Amino acid sequence: MSHILIHEVGPRDGLQAEQRIVPTDIKLEWLGRLMDAGLDIIQVGSFVHSGKVPQMADTDELFRCLSTRKRNSSVILSGLVLNEKGLERGLACGVEMFCLGVSASEIHSRKNTGMSTEEATQRIITMALEAKAAGKKVQVSVQSAFGCGFEGLVPEGRVMGIVEAYLAAGLTAISLADTAGHAHPAQVSAYIQRVLAMDSNAEITAHIHNTYGLGMANVYAAMEAGATTIETSFGGLGGCPFTKVAAGNVATEDLVQGLQRTGLRPDIKLDALIRVACDVATFFGRDLPGCVYKTGSLAGGRG
């Protein structure tokens, strides 16, 4: 846990299920402030059909604007890709890190991508290798790794089978995603340890949802087990619109405060993150699931 990376997914996972469309200029303002806050990776959006996820219709434009804007920033701009057309769009507009995933749940896979788990695995691996060949960073994920709202418990063997296929293809940056929020700390720890036993050089990301209240506990279990990156969202906003119960992520500012209280990641500007979460809550006119943006950090006042 000496240096945990923060992958902010609010602009994608946080916004994708929201009915009120955030104008592009406001998204750019939020993204610029997140970049300035010192986060490691920011997921700008996803390359999906605008008719299915209207909130993501401006993803290409956002990347083009930010590619020029980030000249003095070390932050990595990531984008989620589900198919070959999305990869083509991402390569054309300046995505630096491609996030591609396969759901270990057959039902969720078909609802999310229209493909079976087996078909999606082969296509995702092919696309991931194409992105790597183009000189891009690549992260592959196992979605619904810890359970599914439609299927319930997903067999561990199915999860590890996808991981094994990734590793066999030379894809070692792997995210285990708790899409439905079913995970518990012992399970998170065990799964991460099993992946590292398969390949000690694997770089593991944990994507945790707080659907049933175990989000932060699962994040700490992941970090203690060897995960090096955590995906979080401003204000804890978010949830997959294609799972049974769409609930929020662990809040970025909540995790950053927790890390900073133990001396980790003092370089991240917590007050700036709090201000973004406050503005997102104001835009949508409701409280978000996060805590610290409401209470203020222990190190200072509210943003």
Of 208, 168, 159, 165, which is closest to residue 184 (Cα–Cα)? 208
Strand partners, 137: 97
Domain count, the chain: 1
Answer whether residue 240 is part of any domain: yes
Residue range(s) defining the domain that contains residue 81: 5-295
Nearest Cα to Cα of residue 297 among 262, 279, 271: 271
Instruction: Count the residues in the chain.
Output: 303
pLDDT < 70 positions in the chain: 1-2, 71, 109, 112-113, 239-247, 299-303
Structure tokens at 111: 């609802």
Can you give the pLDDT at residue 301?
Answer: 42
> Which of 26-65 are b and which e, b meaning 16 or more Cβ less than 10 Å from the residue's Cβ?
ebbebbbbbbebbbbbbbbbbbbeeeebebbebbbebbeb
E-strand ranges in the chain read 5-8, 41-47, 76-81, 97-103, 137-143, 173-178, 203-208, 229-232
Distances (CA, A) of 296 to 119, 251, 269, 277: 46, 13, 13, 11
Task: Tell me if 88 is assigned to some domain.
Answer: yes
Classify residue 186: in a domain, yes or no: yes
Q: Which two tokens stand for residue 121?
A: 């695995």
- Is 216 a domain residue? yes
Nearest partner of 226 among 261, 252, 181, 195, judged by Cα:
195
Q: What SS3 class is residue 86? A: helix
Can you give the CATH number for the domain in which 267 is found?
3.20.20.70
Is residue 302 included in any domain, yes or no?
no
- From the list 260, 252, 258, 257, the residue with the least C-alpha distance to 290 is 252
Q: Which residues are catalytic?
A: 240
For every residue of 162-193, which 3-state class applies, written as one string?
Answer: HHHHHHHCCCCEEEEEECCCCCCHHHHHHHHH
Return the SS3 of 39.
Answer: coil
Radius of gyration of the chain (CA): 18
35: closest CA among 65, 62, 8?
Answer: 8
Cβ atoms of 218 and 225 closer than 8 Å? no
Give the pLDDT of residue 302: 43
Domain assignment of residue 301, yes or no: no
Residue 47 to residue 223: CA distance in whole angstroms: 29
Query: What is the Cα 69 distance to its own chain's centre?
Result: 22
168 burial via Cβ count (<10 Å: 0-12, 13-18, 19+): exposed
Q: State how far the Cα of 67 lies from the Cα of 75, in Å rounded to an integer.
A: 11
Task: Give the distance between the most distant pair of CA atoms in the chain.
Answer: 50
Place of tokens 């604007």: 65
- How confident is the model at residue 109, as a pLDDT? 67
